[in-house]
Amino acid sequence: MIHMTADPNPAQTSPQPAPGRPLVEITNVDKHFGEFHALKDITLTVHHGEVVVVIGPSGSGKSTLCRTINRLETIDNGTITIDGKVLPEEGAQLAQLRSDVGMVFQSFNLFAHKTILENVTLGPIKVRKLGKADADALAMDLLTRVGVEHQAQKFPAQLSGGQQQRVAIARALAMKPKVMLFDEPTSALDPEMINEVLDVMVELAQDGMTMVVVTHEMGFARKAANRVAFMADGEIVEVAEPETFFTAPRSERAKDFLSKILTH
């Protein structure tokens, strides 16, 4: 499936691939934890500018899949390429490729003893070698984009969960990643804060960011996803456009899963 979208990172110095080209290519990936087969022959391509929502029961391997994409977990078999480059085992090249992948987790993981502004400027200064003034300007732009610019001088504990998660998104964006991974970014939030985070993510998608999003928020999937990948027992069971997946799932496992989450 090819999606024509605008260049999501015009400020980036490295040339961007043509729209619609594969950006993340996961090919025949296996992952074991001891005897336990956590990822079974996973093959999935995420194209430049595409949003893929990953959905499935707890324990099906969604977080493990996200973690393999930026090498927080090693893989046993198969390959993962980011923008045509195979993820290496370790070393400086790994650090470089990893910084192409932004990640937002369920818990916000902000540095408690640093201000909101410092949380966002830390990566650009340390890894991207930006000067402080440039890093501050970039951070303020991003904090404005996610709607928390007035909190810049506060500490994380002074912000609501929804605000902290928006800061976590700004912090990931500050590294100018080529792809953003979200692992259940709203599942630790109070219900009234979920939409303010999803709205930021929808805008990001509309701006052309390539995204892999683990979430059960069907409203988000319908609004922003190009495809839904359904996982169960370590496998990708089916991949479909959101409307097709939610209204006419093909597999019994997807039907069963949807009947459980839809009855509430």
Part in contact with ligand ADP (CB under 6 A); list of ranges 58-66, 165-173, 187-195, 241-249: 58-66
Binding site for Mg ion (CB under 5 A): 62-63
Cβ(232)–Cβ(253) under 8 Å?
yes
Spell out, one character per residue from 64 to 93, where the chain touches ligand ADP: x when CB under 6 A holds, - when not.
Answer: x-----------------------------
Q: Is 103 among the residues that bind ligand ADP (CB under 6 A)?
A: no
Q: Measure CA 124 to chain center.
A: 19
Part in contact with ligand ADP (CB under 6 A); list of ranges 51-59, 122-130, 165-173, 243-251: 51-59
Residues 233 and 58: their CA atoms lie apart, in Å, by: 9
Q: Is 63 among the residues that bind ligand ADP (CB under 6 A)?
A: yes
Residue type, 108: F
Report phi then psi at 108, rounded to 5: -75, -25
Spell out, one character per residue from 3 to 42, where the chain touches ligand ADP: x when CB under 6 A holds, - when not.
Answer: ------------------------------x--x-x----
Cα Dmax for the chain? 55
Find all residues with CB under 8 Å of 26, minimum gap 6, and list them.
42, 43, 44, 45, 65, 68, 69, 78, 79, 80
Q: Is 59 among the residues that bind ligand ADP (CB under 6 A)?
A: yes
Q: Which residues bind ligand ADP (CB under 6 A)?
A: 33, 36, 38, 56, 58-64
